[in-house]
Chain A
Amino acid sequence: MRRFHILVVWMVAATVAAMGQQTQTPAPAQSTADDKAAMDKRLRDLEDRIVMLEGEIRQLKAQSAPPAAGTATTATGTQPPTQEPGAQQAPPSAPVSQAEAVRLGGAGGAASKALNPDISMIGDFIASAGHNPINPTPSFQMHESELGIQAIIDPYARGDFFLSFGEEGVDLEEGYITFTALPASFVARAGKMRAAFGKVNTLHNHVLPWVNRPLVTQNLVGGEDGIDDAGVSVQRILPAPKNWFMEFTGQVYRGDSSDIYRAENKNDVSVVGHLRTYKDLTESTNLDLGGSYSRGHNLFGTDFITNLYGIDATFRWKPLQRAIYHSFVARSEFIWRQQNQPSITVCGTTCPPFSTSGFQRAFGFYTSADYQLGRRWFLGARIDRSDRPFNASLVDNGGSLVLTYWPSEFAQLRAQYQLTRYAENFDSHELFVQLQFALGAHGAHPF
């Protein structure tokens, strides 16, 4: 900080000196008006120069190390150019700092806080009432605490980590590197990530418009975790008619995802392909269409394959001038899951619940609509229907009403009434109340 103060003092001194020189210059025989105009211009230029230097200082402050840290230059060579000469002398603590730099890798023990990643925590507390023996939920639960750690790695890539803390364990929900400067406009990712299958599978819990995920997601696409696996992803915007957006994403994963895929050997990888088409219908409305395909080896072994097909559609209305008060979103996903599975006499007690023998063709969908009533209030509804994956003759149906209140941008209170008619002819009536709250700088999610 000291070096910035010195820099400011230097700037002010230089400015005053320059002004002094200007005022001491013998006045030419010009009109007073011309002199005044010239002086005004000089003053303005000097003022602009000071403002620009202030801007540079702001940038340096954001990029460089604090004085204590700056004295111990790390191997990364991030020393600011304006460092005062005295700071070049290595203090006694320098060897320690250098040792830290080695131990901590590229970040360095003396790295500035300014270079720390953005850190956020999003709490998700859910209270529930009602009876549901098929899919029971506790009366109160700290359902999830999502820790987000995000930063730009270098000029070519950024890194994003999302750790999901439950009440009893921790799970790496996502952790990946995104290569942002590849040739031919490709964007690539490597790490663990939510697969680009449909819409809901890509969404973190805190950006869902409901307390829980739709039945079709829970039954056919791996429940809350969904297709979430380690692998690589490549996406690119495709040529399309004017004003149409088209993007293809191709992904290859290890092949382990919830109750959908299991890899018994390294060849049992799963793949996901997603084609997205988008168009602005007007400046306030748009249509988002997608088609998805995924394939992998299922729980029954290498010889048993599961195929997932999905189509999704989203219509959005948001009047630009009143965007913070009113909006409407209607969305729907249709998903087909086809898998071959052995006779239940073969898998016996290891069969998943409700399993039956032979090839299963399961289908499910959800349709939902959300209307923003005012700056803080949202009203929504969702209709669910889904076959069970291991016995497609069993069908669950459901419906939900959702009311959401935003005290601020960083907290949300939501109530959801849900009726589920399970295949066993059992009706479940449940009421959920959810409180979500965000700490720190959580990066915006893709649209």
Chain B
Amino acid sequence: MKLRSKLFGIVVSAMLVVMLLLPSAAEAKKLKVITTLTDLASLTQEVGGDKVDVEALAKGYQDPHFVEPKPSFLLKLRNADLLILVGLELEIGWLPPLITQSGNGKIQPGGLGYLDASQFAQILEIPQGSVTRAEGDVHPMGNPHYWLDSDNGRRIAKGIAAKLSALDPGDQAYFQQREQDFETRLAEADKKWLTLMAPYHGRKVVTYHRSWPNFAKHFGLDVIGYIEPRPGIPPTPSHTIDLVNQMKREGVKIELIEPYFDLKTPNSIASMVNGKVVVLMPSVGGKPEITDYFKLFDYDIALLTKAFEETK
């Protein structure tokens, strides 16, 4: 038995020595950036160009609240130079254990490689007074779906450019130039989107989850209710009836749904109000053709304007 114990000790010690001698990360000239969501990855790519290797953890068609903290994510995080997250507790259910287990000191909260993008964005629906879970799965620091406003996209890109410049000062001019270029292109695109949406300014809609306040504000939509009775609580019959009555009263025909929610209740509401369910994509990659931040808005606005036309 003692021999076995010694043997085990030797094996463990040998493994630890081997692990110590191994290089902890492959040498790479590019900054390795991991983002939680694809939208942040797209903005980082716009700013970082060919000086960064960027990858998102969650997929664009996934509910960002409920991502599984898979060990394969640790392989991405362990060598990251920079982790960019949405913050405001959107990723609280899955990101913290990944950061802890990554063994990467750079991306720990407060580290140079940890960037909470919410600090750059205009945040809506910040609860006032005390917050309890009687209100559902509320975010005490404000609504985290802020990237769906192109003004916030611009601000986040600026913040990312500053962070990339801090991590790679030699390429600061490159990042700043790309950020300026992105800003110009975004301003042009935004002008086009606003023009397309202008005829529908003030139109009332309902949404499934509180995912669209920034989008609605930017394009002048009026969100009058939600299919969820409370954030994170599935629809209930009584709430659905109340919502249908409200929609009928106010002549609301459009429901905006994220791709990861079941369509049964929205479809039945649509049939009752003679309305339309519009499955908007909240993130880049939600559909194969939505390959970047610009195409995300192109896609959503095309769907939305078509739906408004059909429900005049």
Residues of A within 8 A of B (CB): 44, 47-48, 51-52, 54-56, 58-59, 62, 152, 155-156, 158, 178, 180-187, 234-239, 243, 245, 247-248, 250, 271, 273, 276, 278-280, 283, 286, 288, 293, 295, 305, 307, 316, 318, 320-325, 340, 375-376, 408-410, 441, 443-447
Task: From known contacts A444-B92, A444-B96, infer whether A238 and B105 are also in contact, taking CB-CB under 8 Å.
Answer: no
Confirm or deny: B93 has a beta carbon within 8 angstroms of a beta carbon on chain A. yes
Contact A271 B8 (CB under 8 A): yes
**Cα(A47)–Cα(B154), bound, Å:** 12
Contact B108 A180 (CB under 8 A): yes
Contact B78 A185 (CB under 8 A): yes
Contact A322 B260 (CB under 8 A): yes
**Cα(A185)–Cα(B154), bound, Å:** 35
Contact B22 A278 (CB under 8 A): no
**Cα(A356)–Cα(B267), bound, Å:** 66
Query: Which residues of chain A are near B63, meaning CB under 8 Å?
Result: 323-324
Confirm or deny: B165 has a beta carbon within 8 angstroms of a beta carbon on chain A. no
* Closest B residue by C-beta to A411: B133
Contact B103 A278 (CB under 8 A): no
**Cα(A14)–Cα(B72), bound, Å:** 48
- From B119-127, B216-224, B295-303, the one touching the partner chain is B119-127
**Candidates B71, B99, B142; contact of A245 at CB < 8 Å:** B71
Tell me the smallest distance from the CB of B123 to a CB of chain A, in Å. Answer: 7
**Cα(A134)–Cα(B133), bound, Å:** 41
Query: Which residues of chain B are near A155, meaning CB under 8 Å?
Result: 105, 108, 110-111
**Cα(A34)–Cα(B115), bound, Å:** 36
Encoded as 1 (CB less than 8 Å from any A CB) or 0, chain B from 96 to 136 comes to 11011111110011110000001111110000000001001
Chain B interface SS verdict (over half):
loop
- From B11-19, B41-49, B198-206, B246-254, the one touching the partner chain is B11-19
Chain A interface SS verdict (over half):
mixed
Tell me the smallest distance from the CB of A312 to a CB of chain B, in Å. Answer: 14
Query: Which residues of chain A are near B25, meaning CB under 8 Å?
Result: 185
**Candidates A156, A248, A307; contact of B19 at CB < 8 Å:** A248
Encoded as 1 (CB less than 8 Å from any A CB) or 0, chain B from 148 to 162 comes to 000110110011000
* Closest A residue by C-beta to B25: A185
Query: Which residues of chain B are near A441, meaning CB under 8 Å?
Result: 92
**Cα(A446)–Cα(B71), bound, Å:** 9
Contact A184 B158 (CB under 8 A): no
**Cα(A52)–Cα(B121), bound, Å:** 7
**Candidates A59, A181, A280, A409; contact of B119 at CB < 8 Å:** A59
* Closest A residue by C-beta to B110: A155
Query: Which residues of chain B are near A408, meaning CB under 8 Å?
Result: 133, 136-137, 232-233
Confirm or deny: B270 has a beta carbon within 8 angstroms of a beta carbon on chain A. no
**Cα(A248)–Cα(B233), bound, Å:** 39
**Candidates A59, A236, A276, A305; contact of B103 at CB < 8 Å:** A236
24 CB-based A-B contacts, threshold 8 Å = A48-B154, A52-B159, A155-B105, A155-B108, A178-B100, A181-B105, A185-B78, A235-B101, A237-B103, A238-B19, A245-B75, A247-B71, A273-B12, A278-B70, A278-B72, A286-B70, A295-B4, A321-B62, A408-B133, A408-B136, A408-B137, A410-B133, A444-B97, A446-B69
Contact B104 A446 (CB under 8 A): no
Query: Which residues of chain A are near B102, meaning CB under 8 Å?
Result: 180, 185, 187
Query: Which residues of chain B are near A181, meaning CB under 8 Å?
Result: 105, 108, 111
